[in-house]
Amino acid sequence: MMNIKFLSLRWEVTLLRYYLMMLLVIVGVFSGIYAIAFLGLPIFLSAILGVSIGGKETRNIAANTARIVRMEGEQRQEQKVS
């Protein structure tokens, strides 16, 4: 199942999406194929909204279902020093 989150995109990925959008728009306009330029719109919206698309988050699943095992050493016996 895909995990889609809004406003959780890193700054570097946002910047790369803007570069990709500008590349598509410039190539589409200068080549005269405006359909390529319109492909920049979904990329622009995903960058503005900060959409992060990922798979299952196994780290959170493991953290929520893990058992806690207490590692206790030998039982201490108090001895009186005389």
53 burial class (0-12, 13-18, 19+ CB within 10 angstroms)? exposed
Q: Based on the structure, what is the number of domains in the chain?
A: 1
Q: What is the pTM of this model?
A: 0.61
Answer whether residue 42 is part of any domain.
yes
Answer whether residue 62 is part of any domain.
no
Answer whether residue 75 is part of any domain.
no
Kindly give the parts of the chain with pLDDT less than 70: 1, 55-69, 73-82
pLDDT tens-place string over residues 26-40: 999 999 999 999 999
Kindly give, in sequence order, each residue whose CB lies less than 8 Å from that of residue 7, ignoring residues fewer than 6 positions away.
49, 50
Q: Which domain does 35 fall in, by range?
A: 3-55
